[in-house]
Amino acid sequence: MRRDAPLAAERHSAPKRDVSVDEFTAVLDRHGIARGVLTAPSFYGSDNRLLLEALDAHPERLRGTVIVEPGVQVEALAAMDRRGVTGIRLNWIRRSSIPDPAGRAYQALFAKVRELGWHVEIFLEGPKLAEVLPQVRASGARVVVDHFGAPDPAQGVACKGFQRLIEGLRAGDTWVKLSAPYRLGGANPQPYVDAFLDAAGPAQLVWASDWPFVGHEESVTYTQCVAWLEQWIPDEATRRVVLSDTPAKLFRFGARK
């Protein structure tokens, strides 16, 4: 991330400091993490240059998820595929209105994603996820849902979006990130983790640190993020699937073209 990079007009956050890919890989090294996935933030919109440069610097170690316009050409996606991109991100959180994922433009985009073997990552409030997730799944593309599905904290596991997420996990075409519990409105994430494991076991779960914790830089550490996962999933063998086996397949490590 760079503070002097152009910022998108429609964004819900901004970088507070510059962050280099070498700083990120150093954090991974200190915590014994072999590989990482870079997720495009909202504040650069569809400008993925910094992310792609980071992937170029560590082609075997890093993968990425980009933000694109729905009309992006398949050739542009294929070029990003060769640089280590494995998915697109719909960062639609905190918007008064969101695009129509069932419309022709986005369904065509999801078809391109499906053909590349990529995934569609969704960051959206749980109540809105209830409508959006089934429409994305209907395209046949694989789906990764951010931050436990961001359920309404007042409803918890009964949130309609959370229930649609459970359906996707059971169907085997949807994955969920165990990440950023500090973005859950004060809710305890343990019931969410237990529901995920009950629905699909660890094969549909991946862990993410959310580093560098945009908006929470002063209150969260990477070490805490590792410790939280150990607390949520105390069984080492189950945790290994979440940390290693599932992300290796989902993000196609070892499959650079």
pLDDT confidence band for 7 (50 / 70 / 90): low
| Tens-digit pLDDT profile for residues 135-192 | 999 999 999 999 999 999 999 999 999 999 999 999 999 999 999 999 999 999 999 9
**Residue 80: CB atoms within 10 Å:** 22
Share of the chain above pLDDT 90, in %: 86
Task: With a cut of 90, say whether residue 227 has pLDDT above it.
Answer: yes
pLDDT confidence band for 12 (50 / 70 / 90): low
Task: With a cut of 90, say whether residue 89 has pLDDT above it.
Answer: yes
Which of 166, 217, 175, 173 is CA-nearest to residue 194? 166
Q: What is the pLDDT of residue 214?
A: 87
pLDDT confidence band for 42 (50 / 70 / 90): confident
- H helices of the chain, where? 21-30, 49-57, 74-82, 104-116, 126-137, 160-171, 190-200, 222-232, 236-240, 246-250
Phi, psi of 120 (to 5 degrees): -105, 120
Task: With a cut of 70, say whether residue 11 has pLDDT above it.
Answer: no
**Across all residues in the chain, what is the average pLDDT?**
94
Q: What is the pLDDT of residue 6?
A: 72
| Tens-digit pLDDT profile for residues 210-226 | 999 988 988 999 999 99
| Contacts of residue 237, Cβ cutoff 8 Å, sequence gap at least 6 | none
Residue-range domains of the chain with CATH: 21-250 (3.20.20.140)
Task: With a cut of 90, say whether residue 18 has pLDDT above it.
Answer: no
